[in-house]
Amino acid sequence: MLILASASQSRKKLLENSQIEFIQISSNFDEALVKEKDISNLTLELSFQKASRIALNIQEIDLPEKFNYSSVEILGCDSIFEFNGRPFGKPSDKDEAYRRWSQMSGEFGFLHTGHTLLFSTFDSSSKILKVTKKIKKTVSSKVYFSKLQDEEIKNYVDSLEPLYCAGGFALEGKGGKYIERIDGCFSNVMGLSLPWLRKSLIKEGIFP
């Protein structure tokens, strides 16, 4: 059984649309606890901490009884957008979102998503979980933005969508029409590389 250690709705939709059986549990990990300057390494460490938090607290989690938990795979992810060497997380307010989009218009950046997959055995009666293997990887996609009119930027910021997305844009939302091209994994830009997940599971004999 796959556990998505994230509250992200975009990651949830990706797994649902791919018809991969899973349950979603937020890790509630405080990201401020991780101090790492390299953006790629930061996303990887955050993904590991999120997955590990679920593994450590599994006994306190009320798991749905209808699933078979003899083996459990815990997936942690974290996404950060890099622009001109700087990390762009979620904008703090509309003013910051406007400034960012004014810079990104007609330019490109990199969306980094750290992935951690913990393979484990689980005794449902004692709720003891033992991690047997972990796979970690940061997947990066190059995102090119269209040259936008100032009015377009204002309208997009006023929609408030940028305030809830890493980098201040959502490929699957209103922001999709402002993305000119993507080099690399498409689903990675939405927070989860489905090809990476599929290959990682298949290597362990799990066919999603």
* Residue in this structure with the two tokens 């009015």, named with its chain if needed: 151
Task: Name the pairing type of β-strands 108-123 and 71-83.
Answer: antiparallel
Label residue 118 exposed, middle or buried (CB < 10 Å: 0-12, 13-18, 19+): buried
Active site annotation includes 78: yes
Active-site residue, selected from the candidate residues 30, 38, 62, 78: 78
**Chain Cα centroid distance, residue 89:** 12
Asked if 145 contacts 103 with a C-beta cutoff of 8 angstroms, the reply is: no
Contacts of 87 (CB under 8 A, 6+ apart): 39, 42, 80, 81
End-to-end CA distance of the chain: 10
Residues designated as active site: 78
